[in-house]
């Protein structure tokens, strides 16, 4: 089924990973050439504080952040959030439905947490305004990891650039579940046209922690690339994130 045809459904999915279905991707990832930000740490002894100690320290930190917004319930809300999700990163990246479920006793706090999340995202985006962005930039990789660190659902994120490769905007384009996320080419194309973008960097996460793209990831990426070429927009790369690592489909010679 061709993209853009009259019979086209704007639904091409990145489904559950099957490592056996695409041998090339497995070999490339084993070679590690296309994997960026792969940090390996070897230690005979773990001197890190216990999870319980870390959690105890996070509660007053979170309380200080949200107390000006929530008021007297900040302590109770902080304890509930840390108990439910374990870290501030997960709190800020969790889906709205799970956030609302965790704060069922504090419905007014949900909006406050969303406001904090939006503020963090704006501050992250601000560092790239007017700057040339490249997929091997550690700052960009950190930014994408922060946007796609949710282990509970796959998400599709797009960075739009101008003709000089300068950052225009970074936006979440789609949210899925633990086994896949849906790509809507029409939405991506429309947003690129709205921004007068000439380049797009796509990124999505694998909840499994495996950064290797599936065969379906590659096929869908190539379909989108073909569609974008027809309107003179470059698909700069499609990055797959998992386990704190990033796989470049272009560097892996799959695009």
pLDDT single digits (tens) 176-188: 888 888 899 999 9
- From CA 89, how far away is CA 149, in angstroms rounded? 8
Most confident of 49-53, 69-73, 81-85, 212-216: 212-216
Mean pLDDT across the chain, nearest whole number?
75
Residue-level pLDDT at 194: 95
* Contact criterion met (CB below 8 Å) for 247 and 24: no
Residue 3 has pLDDT above 70, yes or no: no
More confident residue, 150 or 14: 150
253 conformational bin, left if phi > 0, alpha if psi -120 to 50, beta if neither: left
Per-residue pLDDT band for 53 (boundaries 50, 70, 90) equals very low
Q: What is the mean pLDDT of residues 11-24?
A: 38
Residue 161 has pLDDT above 90, yes or no: yes
Residue 107 has pLDDT above 50, yes or no: yes
Q: Which residues are within 8 A (CB) of 93 and not within 5 positions of it... i.e. 6 or more apart? A: 117, 146, 147, 149, 150
Sign of the Cα torsion 62, 68, 70, 74 reads positive
Residue-level pLDDT at 157: 93
Residue-level pLDDT at 35: 57
DSSP characters over 144-200: HHHHT--SSS-EEEEEEE-TTSBEEEEEEEEE-BTTBEEE-HHHHHHHHHHHT-SEE
- From CA 204, how far away is CA 107, in angstroms rounded? 30
Q: Which residues are within 8 A (CB) of 161 and not within 5 positions of it... i.e. 6 or more apart? A: 133, 167, 168, 197, 198, 199, 200, 201, 236
Q: Which whole-number Å values give the CA distances from 65 to 62, 77, 80, 111, 184, in the listed order?
A: 5, 12, 15, 14, 36
Query: Nearest Cα to 58, choosing from 97, 101, 89?
Result: 89
DSSP characters over 5-55: STT--S-EEE-S--GGG-HHHHHHHHHTTTEES------SS--SPPHHHHH
Residue-level pLDDT at 122: 64
More confident residue, 161 or 49: 161
Site of tokens 């379909």: 223
Residue-level pLDDT at 236: 96
Q: What is the mean pLDDT of residues 138-166?
A: 88
- pTM of the predicted model as reported, rounded to 2 decimal places: 0.63
Q: What is the mean pLDDT of residues 196-224?
A: 92
Residue 171 has pLDDT above 70, yes or no: yes
CA atoms within 13 A on the CB side of 24: 9
Residue-level pLDDT at 223: 93
Written out in words, the top-level CATH class of the domain with range 12-38+129-248 is: alpha beta
Q: What is the mean pLDDT of residues 186-194?
A: 94
The least confident of 41-50, 51-60, 122-131, 176-185 is 41-50
Residue-level pLDDT at 45: 40
Q: What is the mean pLDDT of residues 141-151?
A: 81
209 conformational bin, left if phi > 0, alpha if psi -120 to 50, beta if neither: left
């Amino acid at each position: 089924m061709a993209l853009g045809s009259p019979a086209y459904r704007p639904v091409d999915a990145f489904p559950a990973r099957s490592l056996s279905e695409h041998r090339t991707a497995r070999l490339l990832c084993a070679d590690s050439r296309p994997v960026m930000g792969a940090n390996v740490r070897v230690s005979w002894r773990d001197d890190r504080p216990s999870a319980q100690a870390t959690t105890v320290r996070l509660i007053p930190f979170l309380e200080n952040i949200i107390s000006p917004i929530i008021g007297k319930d900040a302590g109770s809300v902080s304890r509930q959030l840390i108990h439910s999700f374990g870290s501030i990163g997960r709190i800020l990246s969790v889906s709205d439905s799970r956030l609302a479920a965790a704060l069922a006793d504090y419905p007014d706090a949900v909006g406050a947490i969303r406001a904090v999340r939006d503020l963090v995202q704006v501050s992250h985006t601000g560092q790239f305004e007017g700057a040339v962005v490249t997929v091997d930039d550690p700052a960009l990789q950190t930014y994408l990891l922060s946007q796609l660190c949710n282990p509970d659902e796959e998400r599709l994120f797009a960075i739009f650039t101008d003709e000089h490769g300068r950052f225009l905007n970074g936006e979440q384009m789609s949210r899925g579940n633990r086994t896949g996320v849906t790509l809507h080419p029409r939405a991506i194309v429309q947003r690129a046209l709205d921004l007068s973008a000439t380049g797009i960097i796509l990124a999505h996460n694998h909840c499994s922690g495996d950064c290797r793209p599936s065969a379906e990831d590659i096929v869908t990426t190539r379909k989108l690339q073909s569609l974008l070429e027809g309107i003179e927009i470059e698909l700069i790369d499609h990055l797959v994130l998992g386990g704190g690592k990033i796989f470049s489909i272009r560097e892996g010679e799959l695009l």
